[in-house]
Amino acid sequence: MVGFVAEVPAGALADRYSRRGILAGGAVLQACGYGLWLLVPSFAGFAGGFVLWGVAGALTSGTVEALLYDGLAATGAEESYPTVYGRVEAAGLLVQLPAAGCASVLFSFGGYPLVGWVSVGWCLATAALAFRLPRQAPPDPAEPQSSVDTPAAGPDRSLVGPLKRLAHTLRTGLVDTLTRPSLRNAVMLVAALGGMDAVEEYFPVMAAGWGVPEAWVPVAVLSIPLAGAAGAMLGSAAGGVGRRALAAGLLGSALALAAAAGLHRPAGLAAVALFYALYRMVLVVVDARLQERIASSPRATATSVASLGTELASLGLFAAWASGGVPAVALLFSALAAVLPRLLRPPVR
C-alpha cells in the first residue's frame, strides 16, 4: 500500500527537485529500513522497515529512467537509451548471483545480523554513488515544472510554496500522461508488461513442482536470470524493430512458457529461460518507446505512473497463477502480445 500511495508523488518530487538527490535519499531510506529490522526485531519494527523500503522503492522507480534519458538527451545521445538501459537491466539481473553467494557466506559467519548490517552499508554506498552522477540542466529553462538539480529559489520560504510547485508538477504530469493517447497507451503497455515480471517469484516453484530436488532448486533456476540478462542486452540491438516484430517476440515467449508447462519436468526450465530472455528483450524496447513519447512531460512523473500500473498488473499475474498455474500465465502473455501492436501505434502528427 505504501508503494501504491507514494509511487506517483515520488516521481513528481524527482521532476521538481534533484533526481540524484532523490535516488540517494531512497537508498538512505532503504538502509534505515534494514537498520530498523535489526534494532527492533518485532512486528512493529518489521512493519516500519517495510514502510521505509516501500517509500525508497517509490523514490527510485521512474527516477532512474528519467535521469538516464534526460542525461543522454542533454548530450544529443538519446538514441543510445535502449543500449544503456538494456545494460542497466542486465546488470540488475546478473548481480543477483554474486549477491546471493555473498549473503550465504556472510550468513554462515555472522548470521542474520551480519547480513543485515552489510546490507545497510551497501545501501549507504549506493547513496554516495548516486551523488557522483552528473548534474542535469533543465531540458527547457522556461518550463516551470522541469527537472532541476536544486529547488527553485523564491520569496516564499515556507512549505506552502514548495508544496504548490510540487502539486503543479504532479498535476501537469498526470494530465499529460492521461490525455495524450500515444503516451497513455505506451504507459499502459509498460505497466502491463512490467507487472508480468512478477513471474520470477514462481521460478523456484516451477522447478520444485517439475521434479527438481529441493536442494538443487537454486542451481536449477540459475540459468533463468542469466537468460534474462542476455535478453535485456539484446534489447539494445532490437531497439529499431517494428511493433509487430516485438509482438511476435512476446508471443514466442508465451509459447516457450506454454511448452515448458507441457513438459512438466526439469528439462522444461530451458524453455522457461528462453521465455524470460525474449520477455526481457521486449520489455527493454517497450520502455525505450515510452521514454521517446514522454517528450516535454514531467518524465519521472509519467514513468512513475507506469510503475504504479506495474504494481497493479502484478496482482493480475498472481491471480492468473492462482487460477490456472503456468498455462494461465502463458495465456496472459499471449493476450499482451495481441494488443501490443495497437498500443504501440505511432502518434498521429
Q: Residue 226 has what pLDDT?
A: 93
Q: Which long-range contacts (CB under 8 A, 24 or more apart) does 115-118 make?
A: 116/34, 116/35, 116/37, 116/38, 117/38
Average pLDDT, the chain: 88
Q: Residue 142 has what pLDDT?
A: 38
Q: Residue 235 has what pLDDT?
A: 85
- On the question of pLDDT at 8 being above 80, the answer is yes
Instruction: Report if pTM > 0.95.
Output: no
Q: Residue 240 has what pLDDT?
A: 76
Mean pLDDT of all residues in 45-62: 94
**Domains, the chain, ranges and CATH?**
2-137+174-343 (1.20.1250.20)
Distance CA 167, CA 170 (A): 5
Q: What angle, rounded to 10 degrees, do the helices at 63-73 and 268-294 form?
A: 60
**316, burial (CB in 10 Å: exposed 0-12, middle 13-18, buried 19+):** middle
Distance CA 282, CA 238 (A): 8
**42, burial (CB in 10 Å: exposed 0-12, middle 13-18, buried 19+):** exposed
Q: What is the pLDDT of residues 137-155, one digit of tens each?
A: 544 433 443 444 444 444 4
- E strand spans, the chain: none
**Residue whose C-alpha cell is 492462482:** 322
The answer to whether 23 and 124 are in contact (CB under 8 A) is: no
pLDDT category, 136, cuts 50, 70, 90? low
The H or E element that residue 215 is part of is none
The answer to whether 296 and 248 are in contact (CB under 8 A) is: no
Distance CA 256, CA 239 (A): 22
**Residue whose C-alpha cell is 556472510:** 106
Task: Specify the amino acid at residue 52.
Answer: L
Mean pLDDT of all residues in 116-129: 96
The H or E element that residue 85 is part of is helix 81-94
Q: What is the pLDDT of residues 265-281, one digit of tens each?
A: 999 999 999 999 999 99
- On the question of pLDDT at 323 being above 90, the answer is yes
Q: Residue 47 has what pLDDT?
A: 96
**Residue whose C-alpha cell is 521505509:** 52
Q: Residue 154 has what pLDDT?
A: 47
